[in-house]
Amino acid sequence: MATDSSAPEIQLSGDSGLKKQILREGQGERRPTTGSEVVVHYVGRLLDGTVFDSSRDRNDYFTFNLGTGSVIKGWDEGIKTMRKGELALLTCGPDYAYGKRGSPPKIPPNATLQFEVELFSWSSLKDISERKDKGIMKAEVKQGEGYQTPKDEARCVINLVGKVLPADASEEDEEADGEVFERRENYEVVIGEGQLTRSLEKCLENMRQGEHATFILAPRYAYGAAGDASLKVPPNARLRYDVELVSMVSPQEPWDLDANGKIHAAEKRKNEGNELFKQGKHDRAIAKYRRGTSFIDADHSFQQGDELTRAHALKATLYLNIAACEVSRKSWDDVIENCNQALKLGANNFKALLRRGKAYNERNEWDLAKQDLKQALELDPASADAKRELAAVNKKIADHDKKDRQAYSGMFERMSKMEQKETKPTPAPSAAGESSDK
């Protein structure tokens, strides 16, 4: 494709310190965002045409993370305006290059520099899954406005296209395309109401109003091993969603309510979470319980005495309910964290000790498990659950000790045989084997 050296200059800064000429147009509408790992070729020149650096001369692409300060300001600001395949001339004034000091010996003080930059590719994928297991990856296509993101109960209008990715598509390829299985335009949703999968709600919770983004979902965060025949999603399919958050209306916030209103709001979310828990919708139940804690999180909102006591008791219950959901999901670290939060509000919480003891047992931290379970039994000596869990801990310890004894016994037996072999006298040579001096 031919380049256009007569292309108009585009002002990229309000102070005329950074300008851009598009010498060759790029492809598509996507542009790299802050944090993207970009791959470029460049030629750097002084205004008199002297080349002071060139990746092309080295025949080696230059890779860096955009917007992190690892390159000059002109690059961080200029390259994020480029599209894939674009060739551009960036003119960087001193404040966008090396400033008053320059970069001796090649770049003098207060130098204005020109960089011919070609953008080959970039990766903007970020892991937004709660477990950080790369199950939900996000690539920002267009930045949103402000700083607010949707949360549970937010009302949103979205545009959405869902695609099934080919089985051979690379997990790192954010541009991989597939067959459309779902399309929604100006679709009104309320986070937490079950109109979308919990994973898709998680995607929306990581967007700002006006933002466009691409999300790649692993099968475990999509429709799993079963797939969804009604949507024509096959088993174990990776999905791609292209989403635009057109608008959002935030839900009622804690600061809009007085103390009694906050307690009532938290109680309401607890009851809604309990219904979801009964239905086995643990992810959604957790979202409701967490939303409930947000109303009563600040102690200063409540007067000392009965009001604060009620808030603490309700908060502890919400944490315990989250822990119960995490037990069902076998997320033992999260069980322990939420039980810890409940125990901060009251050290003698039987359910918190029982659930944390179980989690420690599952992590094979038996001393901690026994400590919690014994304390739980002191609070409720008749608890069959605590007795059963403590018995399971003791059995694990006994089995472990037995295996150790067997291992050590076998090791000592082998060592004893080796010692016997080393100390056994060597037989004298037989007469038939002796040499003769005759």
Per-residue pLDDT of 260-291, as tens digits, reads 999 999 999 999 999 999 999 998 999 999 99
Residue 305 pLDDT > 50, yes or no? yes
**Residue 311 binned pLDDT confidence (cut-offs 50, 70, 90):** very high
Write the single-letter amino acid at 143.
Answer: Q
User: Which is catalytic among the residues 22, 72, 107, 286?
Assistant: 72
Residue 411 pLDDT > 70, yes or no? no
So what's the pLDDT on residue 112? Answer: 97
Residue 209 pLDDT > 80, yes or no? yes
Residue 298, SS3?
Answer: coil
Residue 66 pLDDT > 80, yes or no? yes
Which residues are 159's β-sheet partners? 244
Q: Can you tell me the mean pLDDT for 394-420?
A: 77
So what's the pLDDT on residue 242? Answer: 96
Tell me if 404 sits within 8 A of 397, measured CB to CB.
no
**pTM higher than 0.75, yes or no?**
no
Judge whether 79 counts as a catalytic residue. Answer: no
Cβ-based neighbour number of residue 332 at 10 Å: 19
Judge whether 53 counts as a catalytic residue. Answer: yes
| pLDDT tens figures, 8-27 | 899 999 899 999 999 999 99
State the pairing for strand pair 51-54/18-24: unpaired
**Residue 413 binned pLDDT confidence (cut-offs 50, 70, 90):** low
Write the single-letter amino acid at 167.
Answer: A
Task: Name the H helices within 111-175.
Answer: none
Residue 234 pLDDT > 60, yes or no? yes
Task: Name the H helices within 1-80.
Answer: 55-58, 73-79
User: Which is catalytic among the residues 53, 95, 228, 385?
Assistant: 53
Residue 5 pLDDT > 60, yes or no? yes
Q: Distance (Å, rounded) from C-alpha 364 to C-alpha 349?
A: 22
Write the single-letter amino acid at 282.
Answer: H
Residue 406 pLDDT > 90, yes or no? no
So what's the pLDDT on residue 414? Answer: 66
Q: Distance (Å, rounded) from C-alpha 333 to C-alpha 326?
A: 9
| pLDDT tens figures, 114-139 | 999 999 998 888 899 988 899 999 98
Judge whether 115 counts as a catalytic residue. Answer: yes
Tell me if 114 sits within 8 A of 47, measured CB to CB.
yes
User: Which is catalytic among the residues 52, 61, 120, 187?
Assistant: 52
So what's the pLDDT on residue 412? Answer: 61
| pLDDT tens figures, 146-171 | 989 999 999 999 999 999 999 888 77
Q: Can you tell me the mean pLDDT for 221-248?
A: 96
Residue 431 pLDDT > 60, yes or no? no
- Edge to edge, the sheet with strand 126-127 lists 126-127, 136-142, 212-217, 239-249, 155-164, 179-190
Residue 203 pLDDT > 60, yes or no? yes
| pLDDT tens figures, 415-427 | 666 766 665 555 5
**Residue 232 binned pLDDT confidence (cut-offs 50, 70, 90):** very high
Whole-number mean pLDDT of the chain? 91
User: Which is catalytic among the residues 98, 295, 302, 319?
Assistant: 98
User: Which is catalytic among the residues 62, 96, 115, 295?
Assistant: 115
Q: What percent of the chain has pLDDT over 90?
A: 75
Q: What percent of the chain has pLDDT over 70?
A: 92
So what's the pLDDT on residue 433? Answer: 42
Tell me if 343 sits within 8 A of 371, measured CB to CB.
no
Work out the angle between the directed axes of helices 332-344 and 306-328 (0-180°, nearest 10). Answer: 170
User: Which is catalytic among the residues 42, 181, 215, 295?
Assistant: 42
Tokens of 70: 């690892």
Judge whether 42 counts as a catalytic residue. Answer: yes
Which tops the pLDDT comparison, 410 or 176?
176
